[in-house]
Amino acid sequence: MSTKDLYLEPMTTGMILDRSFRLYVQNFSLMIGLTAIVQLPILLFTVGTPFLQRDNAAIGLLAAFGTLIAAVISGLIVTPWVTASATKAVSERFLGNQIAVMPALKFGSQFIGRLILIQIVVSLIVFVGMMLCVIPGIIWALSYSLVIPVAVLENSTSGSVIRQRSWDLVKGNRWKVFGVVAVIVVAQILLSLSGTFFIQLFYGNVSTTGQALGALISSVAGLLTFPLQPIAVTLLYYDLRIRKEGFDLEMLSQAISATETP
C-alpha cells in the first residue's frame, strides 16, 4: 500500500484487517523498530531465566522475579508507549509523511503517564466485569478499546473523558471491534504457540535449552505480531470517527499538529 493509496474512508471489518496487515508489511522496519527497542530487554530476561534457574536456584528465583517485573513494566509502560507511537506513525502515513523510529517514540513518550493511569483504571473495570459473569467484562473491554488513540489524537488529559469518548465511538459497533481484535489476537496466539510446540517436540518440557528456545520463539513471535494490534485499533478509531463525525484528512492534520511538542 503506497502513500497515494492510503486515504480515509469508511471501512468494513475485512478492509480494516487487510489494511492493518498491508500497513504492517509496508512499514515493517518502522513497526518492528518501535517494538524491538523497548521490548528487547524484556526478551533477554525471559530467555535467560531458564539457564539461571538451572545454575543457581537463588539467582534463578531472582531472575524469575525480574521477569515478572519486566512483564508488568511491559503491560503498564511499554505497551501503551509503543501503541501511542504506532498511532502517530500510522497517522503520519495517512498524511503522506514519513517518520523514523526515534521521533515516533519521542512523541509517544509524552503520553506515558496519562496512559498508565488510564490502563490501570480500564484493567480494574474489565476485571470487575469479568467477575460479574464475564460478559460485562468483554463489553467494557471492547468499549474502552480506543482509549489510547483517543488520548493521543484528541489530547485529552481527563481519564473519565477519554473513557467516555471511547465508549461513545464504539457504541453500536462492538461486534465490529470484537471481530477485528479477535482475529489479531488469535493470529498472535497461534504464531506464538506453533513455534513453542515444535521446540517441545525436539527438546521436551524439562530441557533447559528447550525452555529457553520456547521462551525465545514466543517472545520473538510477540515482538513480530505486536504492531498489528495498535495499527488495527488506530484504523478502527478512524473508521468510527469517519462514520459518526465525517472525520477527514484536514481534521487529522489539525489533531496531529495539536499534539506535537514544541
| pLDDT, tens digit, 9 for 90 and up, residues 137-191 | 899 999 999 999 999 888 777 888 999 999 999 999 999 999 999 999 888 788 7
- Provide the number of structural domains found in the chain: 1
The string over 167-200, giving b where at least 16 C-beta atoms fall within 10 Å of a residue's C-beta and e elsewhere, is: bebbeebeebbbbbbebbeeebeebbeebbeebe
Q: How far, in whole angstroms, is CA 239 from its chain's centroid?
A: 18
Extract the C-alpha cell encoding 228.
498489528
Residue 40 belongs to some domain of the structure: yes
Residue 95 belongs to some domain of the structure: yes
Q: Which amino acid is at 256?
A: I
Residue 221 belongs to some domain of the structure: yes
> Which of 193, 214, 194 has its CA nearest to residue 203?
214
Residue 197 belongs to some domain of the structure: yes
Specify the DSSP class assigned to residue 182. H
Residue 1 belongs to some domain of the structure: no
Q: What band does 2 get if pLDDT is binned at 50, 70 and 90?
A: very low
Residue 50 belongs to some domain of the structure: yes
Report the range of poorest mean pLDDT among 76-85, 100-109, 146-155. 76-85
Contact indicator for 236, 13 with CB cutoff of 8 Å: no
Residue 167 belongs to some domain of the structure: yes
Residue 2 belongs to some domain of the structure: no
Report the range of poorest mean pLDDT among 93-97, 148-152, 196-200. 196-200
Contact indicator for 114, 151 with CB cutoff of 8 Å: yes
78: domain range?
8-259
Assign 144 to helix, strand or coil. coil
> Which of 206, 212, 139 has its CA nearest to residue 178?
139
